[in-house]
Amino acid sequence: MIEIYGDDYPTPDGTGVRDYVHVNDLALGHALAVDYLEGGNPPLVVNLGSERGLSVREIIDGARRITGKEIKERTVGRRSGDPAQLVASSAKAEKVLGWKAEHSSLDAIIETSWRAYQENIG
């Protein structure tokens, strides 16, 4: 059972919104950063994000739709300090590294995770 920590945030469905990024996008961002540094450039700090938030409810509903599985949930209280929304700006990563999330749609993240799970565990 998945626990949803709060459903009374000032978001469209009341659940927390976060910026989810596909692992392939993250890997490419890190590879581009290594190339950048190996090119003699100074160290830098950038965010790697999709620049669009998805709510906890959207993730759960997407997982149900893509896997065809029932996913039980229950709502519990908020965790102390959790903000309603966290979404990264990747403008600097795009400008400096030429990086942009290209595989980070909800469907792509869940479909590839589900496929890897089925092939390796399920």
What are the chain's domains?
Answer: 2-120 (3.90.25.10)
3-state secondary structure string across 65-81: HHHCCCCCEEEECCCCC
pLDDT surpasses 90 at 16: yes
In sequence order, what are the beta bridge partners of 73?
Answer: 2
Please, which pLDDT band fits residue 62 given cuts at 50, 70 and 90? very high
Phi, psi of 104 (to 5 degrees): -105, 25
Span 99-113, average pLDDT: 96
Span 48-66, average pLDDT: 96
Please, which pLDDT band fits residue 121 given cuts at 50, 70 and 90? confident
pLDDT digits (tens, 9 = 90+) for 84-104: 999 999 999 999 999 999 999
Best CA proximity match to 52, nearest among 19, 82, 21: 19
Span 26-39, average pLDDT: 98
Query: d(Cα 13, Cα 41) in Å, to the nearest integer?
Result: 43
Query: d(Cα 23, Cα 5) in Å, to the nearest integer?
Result: 24
pLDDT surpasses 90 at 23: yes
pLDDT surpasses 90 at 31: yes
Query: d(Cα 24, Cα 102) in Å, to the nearest integer?
Result: 9
Q: Which residue has the tokens 């590839």?
A: 112
